[in-house]
Amino acid sequence: MNKLFAYFKNYIPQTVLAPLFKFMEATLELIVPLIIASIIDVGIGTRDTGFILRRGGLLVLFAAVGLGLAVTAQYFSAKAAIGVCTDIRASLLDKVQSFSYGRLDGIGPSTLVTRMTSDVNTLQTGINLTLRLLLRSPFVVFGAMVVAFTIDAKCALIFAAVIAVLLVIVFAILLSAIPKHGSVQKALDGITSSARENLTGVRVIRAFLREEAETKEFKKRSARLEKLQLAVGRVSGLLNPATLVAVNAAVIVLLWTGAIRVDSGTLSQGQVVALYNLLSQILVELVKMANLVINIAKAAACGKRISAVLSAESGGPDGRLLPDEDAPLGRIEFKNVGFTYENAGAPSLSAISFTAESGQTVGIIGGTGSGKSTLVNLIAGFYRPTEGEARFDGVPLADFKPVSLRNRISVVPQRAVLLAGSIRSNLLMGDPGADEAKMEKALADAQALDFVREKEGGLDAPVLKGSSNFSGGQKQRLCIARALMKPSEVLILDDSTSALDYATDARLRAALAERSAGRKQTTLIVSQRAASILGADLIIVLDEGRQIGLGTHAELLESCPVYREIYETQFPPKECGGEASA
């Protein structure tokens, strides 16, 4: 939680002024019962109409000034709460962007979404209420007790007793509620995760008639959240009735004691009314404080969750930013590299060794789950090797800062993702300063120019959320064009042509070969199609995380049974013989 206090440094004036104006408003409220007492004892008692009107006018003035002070305090508290939480959201997003793939896998996207939305909103409400009420309510409560002592010490002891009882009630409920609110937010993470999975995989769920099963699972998680919320509600719900019982009991004792002392001449009627008004103020403030306590409990639980994300290590390499003269040219070297995912039972990669020279095309092939994507993710710096050594132009990958490494690498991920906006805005992610000619060249090389021109608006054609207005093959080609826009020494295509037909795939490979030849760009192609990597300078064959083949197409046909099996499965025997003999 201490980490969050740093975000108040830009809002110190608002943080100070909000409770200050509330403090002044509360001071006026404490004077009001004394004015009413004087109206009863002096104005009404002596039938002095002028005195009554003057004191009545003073009450109206106090009400107007109090309203102005309350509105001003609300303005400053809202400005501070919104400003602080806006900065926290920005920091959360920056922090999430710095997380390695491993860290993101561990925390989970659903949890991060909940913490950036629900948790921050709850914290914002807590800050707003705290700035307005945390000082005001206790000041009114204890101030009323002090004023009561100036009126009558014996009756004021009733105030002291009820305040002591109320403090015990408030703190007991607060200490009980805070851990329960943490559990509620954790259960909300599960609901968010379930909803996200159902929305993302709705087509799969319907195709396999899993609607009923998924609905039951969602209801099960919702029931657990409901149970936790009811448990918290039962505890929090005790606060208002408990405070009302305590204060109303005090009112009864006060009226009984006051009546006796008025009858004996020790107190005046106006003083009893003033004491009653002071006790009523305590009641009102304690109801407010009850709500404040509940919101503080929620905000504290959410604040801890937010702080946990902000304090988490990124999990990526820290490294150093290499000077310009050391900028890599694209030579990649792996020596006995292994990698194991967090909490995994077995390594996903082991004993991977190869060298890709600058300008070469490297093919990576293997069955499903053989570690192809994991291997290229290590090259891009998304994960750190857990064994062995990976180098980029002789420099260990761990020595690169992520921004330095990724400035030199273009990646087309296995899952084609376009951001909502336009085709132009997506392409400009690769090179913000590019002109239209460069964009069209990238689209042409990616075999996407024809269908982009057919779109209404061309480059300015909209990309809807989730890129739902494009087919799978179109999305893949646009993602490749976006990667080609970026000036880089290494281009990684992670099974990014799986939705393309063989003819389009062949034209794309020819365009990439021509493009990389002139730029000395190292290209890594991950594919399950042997046709996509036939012309590669080096082919890596993976099987269950192990490197079982390394060489050219012709060499692997002779030396690697798994590669030969993959190739012969995808080509007719006649073509196999021709290629093999070639």
Write out pLDDT tens, residues 305-337: 888 888 887 765 555 555 444 555 778 999 999
Are 435 and 377 members of one domain? Answer: no
Q: What are 405-455's pLDDT values in tens digits? A: 888 888 888 888 888 889 999 999 988 888 989 999 999 999 999 999 988
Are 398 and 435 members of one domain? Answer: no
Are 115 and 256 members of one domain? Answer: yes
DSSP string, 444-483: HHTT-HHHHHHSTTGGG-EE-GGGTTS-HHHHHHHHHHHH
Are 379 and 262 members of one domain? Answer: no
Beta strand 538-543 pairing with 332-339: unpaired
Give how far Cα 294 sits from Cα of 79, 122, 126, 177, 289, Å. 22, 11, 9, 8, 9
Mean pLDDT of 96-103: 79
Q: What is the model's pLDDT at position 572?
A: 63
Whole-angstrom distance, CA of residue 80 vs CA of residue 323: 42
Identify whether 556 is part of a domain: yes
Q: Is the pLDDT of residue 71 over 90?
A: yes
Chain centroid, CA 19 distance in Å: 30
Q: What is the model's pLDDT at position 1?
A: 61
Are 447 and 397 members of one domain? Answer: no
Chain centroid, CA 184 distance in Å: 17
Whole-angstrom distance, CA of residue 279 vs CA of residue 220: 47
What pTM value is reported for the model?
Answer: 0.68
Q: What is the model's pLDDT at position 317?
A: 53
Are 431 and 564 members of one domain? Answer: no
Are 171 and 199 members of one domain? Answer: yes
| Domains contained in the chain, number | 3
Are 140 and 65 members of one domain? Answer: yes
Whole-angstrom distance, CA of residue 195 vs CA of residue 303: 24
Whole-angstrom distance, CA of residue 283 vs CA of residue 244: 7
Query: What does the angle CA 308 – CA 310 – CA 315 come to, to the nearest 5 degrees?
Result: 90
Whole-angstrom distance, CA of residue 529 vs CA of residue 570: 8
Q: Residue length, the chain? A: 582
Q: Give the dihedral of Cα atoms 562, 565, 570, 576; nearest 10 deg.
A: 120
- Any idea what the CATH number is for the domain that residue 503 is in? 3.40.50.300
Are 303 and 356 members of one domain? Answer: no
Identify whether 527 is part of a domain: yes
Whole-angstrom distance, CA of residue 138 vs CA of residue 163: 10
Identify whether 154 is part of a domain: yes
Element (H, E) at 352: strand 349-356
Whole-angstrom distance, CA of residue 228 vs CA of residue 185: 10
Identify whether 225 is part of a domain: yes
**Residue 305, class by beta-carbon neighbours within 10 Å (0-12 exposed, 13-18 middle, 19+ buried)?**
buried
Helix axes 49-98, 120-133, angle to 10 degrees: 150
Whole-angstrom distance, CA of residue 531 vs CA of residue 552: 13
- Any idea what the CATH number is for the domain that residue 32 is in? 1.20.1560.10
Identify whether 84 is part of a domain: yes
Q: Which of 495, 506, 514, 543 is nearest to 361 (CA)?
A: 514
Q: Which of 200, 7, 227 is nearest to 109 (CA)?
A: 200
Lowest-pLDDT choice from 76-90, 229-243, 363-377, 494-508: 229-243
Q: What are 510-563's pLDDT values in tens digits? A: 888 877 766 678 889 998 888 888 888 899 999 888 999 999 999 998 889 988
Are 461 and 555 members of one domain? Answer: no
Q: Which of 395, 390, 397 is nearest to 354 (CA)?
A: 390
Average confidence score pLDDT of the chain: 83
Looking at the DSSP assignment, which residues form a beta bridge with residue 421?
Answer: 463
Identify whether 348 is part of a domain: yes
- State the residue range of the domain holding 551: 324-408+488-581
Identify whether 483 is part of a domain: no
Give the end of a domain, one of 256, 287, 311.
311
Region of residue 393 (left: phi > 0; alpha: psi -120 to 50; beta: else): left
Are 62 and 207 members of one domain? Answer: yes
Are 448 and 543 members of one domain? Answer: no
34 or 539, greater pLDDT? 539
Whole-angstrom distance, CA of residue 391 vs CA of residue 379: 9
Give the end of a domain, one of 311, 332, 367.
311
Identify whether 509 is part of a domain: yes
- CA 50, 55, 61, 63 dihedral sign is negative
Tokens of 22: 């509330």
Q: Which of 94, 89, 93, 81 is nearest to 11 (CA)?
A: 81
